[in-house]
Amino acid sequence: MNIKNNALKNSRSVFINKKYIEVNGGKSLEGKIKISGAKNSALVLMATSILSKGQINLFNVPQITDVAIMSKILTSMGMNIKSNEDKLEINSKSILHQPQEVFTNLFHSLRASFFCIGPILARLGSANIPLPGGCSIGSRPIDEHIIALEKLGVQFKFKNNYLIAEVITPKKRLIGALIKFNCKSVGATKTLIMAASLAKGRTILKNSSQEPEIVDLANILNKMGAKVKGAGTECITIEGVESLEGCDYRVMPDRIEAGTYLIAAAMTRSKITFSSIEPKHLKEVIKKLEMCGCKFEYSDKFLKIIPNQILNSVDITTLPYPGFPTDLQAPFMALMTTANGVSTIKETVFENRMHHVKELNKMGAQISLKDNTAKVVGVKKLKASSVIGFDLRGTAALAIAGLYANGKSIIQGLEHLERGYEDFALKLKKIGAEIKHKKQN
């Protein structure tokens, strides 16, 4: 395996180092930010390569620890991965149905590790996979994946934190079925699209998630020779094929990274221009920022945000796409702490995604929380403080608050941030922020 040194170093540090962000806030920013490839797409596209014996070359892959961990996971399954800057060459000519035991913890550390199950079952007919992990934002069950895969002919057993799965059809090949998901699940929709691509016959997925990352998955699969139709709508049809080819594919831009920096620009009342961005994926976020008092200029290749000095409070409710993304709830709440008025922020996707509230209040915010609804009373100032990020997007939210507060803030939880943001501090430093990634001795 040859993955980038930095990313590898970072993936180790998830387990052994306490790292933090130091921000000297209160500065106005100006300049350009280039958006990286999407984490939530890259991770599933990496797993998709299991479906083909040919080589998959992915471009625009973000250099983040989740990608480094996913590379190790795939390598533990017998695959060969080479990386060069934003390119990953993935070869899965030979693949195991169970990872080597020494790598079990990697599976537990990443939710996206579970993306392997569908492709392995489709290709090998059996899989022994350690249960997945990820951010501590709720219980994150996998029942929708399991129930739907059972309909394609899989039998499951749980043993010692492992999921033991076997295709029980006569030829050990998955068989297409009609599936109606009980709830919208991005992960379950992805799992089923991958599995059904090599199944015998037609699979119809109803109540599917509609996220752009699902369209990206369908696009790569169709390039590999699959027959996936309707991605981006609630009904997706997959005609199974016998085999899939290798291909070259460019990962879509990260709409959550883009949204985070748009919010950071609004928070610091700074005019920032974005490249490699897809504004149509950010419609709901842009709409809410416009309601706050931000203006936007568009061209073919750029999006520029021009915030007012005084921003208005706006309410949000997180919802599956095309609604307001749960992944931007925490950053948007940070923005609302200094807006004019009172904002109501309702989290409906995950049941435990409000760890940042207490930390934002330590910085002088006035947020009260009842169940999963936060009431944010805008204040004029935040105070630089020492706070802790408990998950990926919550840590980004605290860093955004730190950019606004005059003076030096310390934000612990850099290991969460590095899971999903490529060069977070560097990108902000280039536009004038005083921000560093640091390591505790």
Q: Is 185 in the site for ligand UD1 (CB under 6 A)?
A: yes
Q: Which of residues 58-97 bind ligand UD1 (CB under 6 A)?
A: none
- Tell whether residue 248 is a contact of ligand UD1 (CB under 6 A): no
307 CB contacts (<8 Å, ≥6 apart)?
265, 266, 269, 270, 271, 289, 292, 293, 294, 295
Of 327, 347, 415, 422, the one binding ligand UD1 by CB under 6 A? 327
Binding to ligand UD1 (CB under 6 A): which residues in 21-40? 40
Residue of the chain from 129, 286, 335, 349 that contacts ligand UD1 (CB under 6 A): 349
User: In angstroms, rounded to a whole number, what is the distance separating the alpha carbons of residues 394 and 400?
Assistant: 10
* Closest-approach residue to ligand UD1 (CB): 187
Interatomic CA distance for residues 269 and 306, integer angstroms? 8
Of 203, 290, 197, 201, whose CA–CA distance to 244 is shortest?
Answer: 197
Stretch that binds ligand UD1, among 169-177, 180-188, 214-222, 429-437 (CB under 6 A): 180-188
Q: Out of 33, 77, 144, 221, name the contact with ligand UD1 by CB under 6 A.
A: 144
**Cβ-based nearer residue to ligand UD1, 185 or 338:** 185
Q: Does 178 bind ligand UD1 (CB under 6 A)?
A: no
Note the Cα 218 to chain centre separation in Å: 17
- Residue 396 as a binder of ligand UD1 (CB under 6 A): the answer is no
Q: 188 or 262: whose CB is closer to ligand UD1?
A: 188
CA dist 67 and 112 (Å) reads 10
Q: In what order do the strands lie in the sheet with 247-250?
A: 80-84, 87-91, 55-59, 247-250
Q: Does 326 interact with ligand UD1 (rule: CB under 6 A)?
A: yes
| Tokens standing for residue 435 | 């921000």
Neighbouring residues of 229: CB distance < 8 A, sequence distance ≥ 6:
236, 237, 238
- For residue 259, give every residue at least 6 positions away whose Cβ sits within 8 Å of its Cβ, in sequence order, or none: 282, 285, 325, 327, 328, 331
Instruction: Report the relative pairing of strands 87-91 and 80-84 from DSSP bridges.
Output: antiparallel
Question: Contact between 346 and ligand UD1 (CB under 6 A)?
Answer: no
Assess 142 for contact with ligand UD1 (CB under 6 A).
yes
Of how many residues is the chain composed?
A: 441
Binding range to ligand UD1, per CB under 6 A, among 24-32, 51-59, 121-129, 135-143: 135-143
Among 138, 201, 225, 230, binds ligand UD1 (CB under 6 A): 138
116: annotated active-site residue: no
Sheet holding 373-377, edge to edge: 316-317, 342-346, 373-377, 366-370
Rounded to 10°, the helix 255-267/329-336 angle is 10
The answer to whether residues 428 and 23 touch, using CB atoms and an 8 Å cutoff, is no
For ligand UD1, the closer CB: 30 or 143: 143
Among 72, 97, 145, 356, binds ligand UD1 (CB under 6 A): 145
- The closest alpha carbon to 132, from 118, 122, 153, belongs to 118
Select the residue interacting with ligand UD1 from 62, 187, 240, 413 (CB under 6 A): 187
111 binds ligand UD1 (CB under 6 A): yes
125: left (phi > 0), else alpha (psi -120 to 50), else beta? Answer: left
Q: Which CB atom, from 221 or from 272, has the smaller least distance to ligand UD1? A: 221
Q: Minimal distance in Å, beta carbon 348 to ligand UD1?
A: 9
Q: Which of residues 30, 143, 248, 297 is near ligand UD1 by CB under 6 A?
A: 143
Q: Which residue do the tokens 């699979």 mark?
A: 203
Q: Report which of 399, 418, 330 is spatially closest to residue 369, judged by C-alpha positions.
A: 330
112 binds ligand UD1 (CB under 6 A): yes
Q: Which stretch binds ligand UD1 (CB under 6 A): 19-27, 56-64, 179-187, 233-241?
A: 179-187
Helix (H, G, I), strand (E, B) or coil at 213: helix
Q: Least distance in Å: CB of 401 to ligand UD1?
A: 21
Q: 365 with 409: CB under 8 angstroms?
A: no
Q: Which of 42, 58, 186, 303 binds ligand UD1 (CB under 6 A)?
A: 186
Q: In this complex, which beta carbon is closest to ligand UD1, that of residue 86 or of residue 327? A: 327
Indicate the residue among 254 and 359 with the shorter CB distance to ligand UD1: 254
Q: Which of 116, 135, 292, 294 is catalytic?
A: 135
CB closer to ligand UD1, 183 vs 342: 183
So which residues are the catalytic ones? 135
Binding site for ligand UD1 (CB under 6 A): 40, 43, 111-112, 138, 140-145, 183, 185-188, 209, 326-327, 349-350
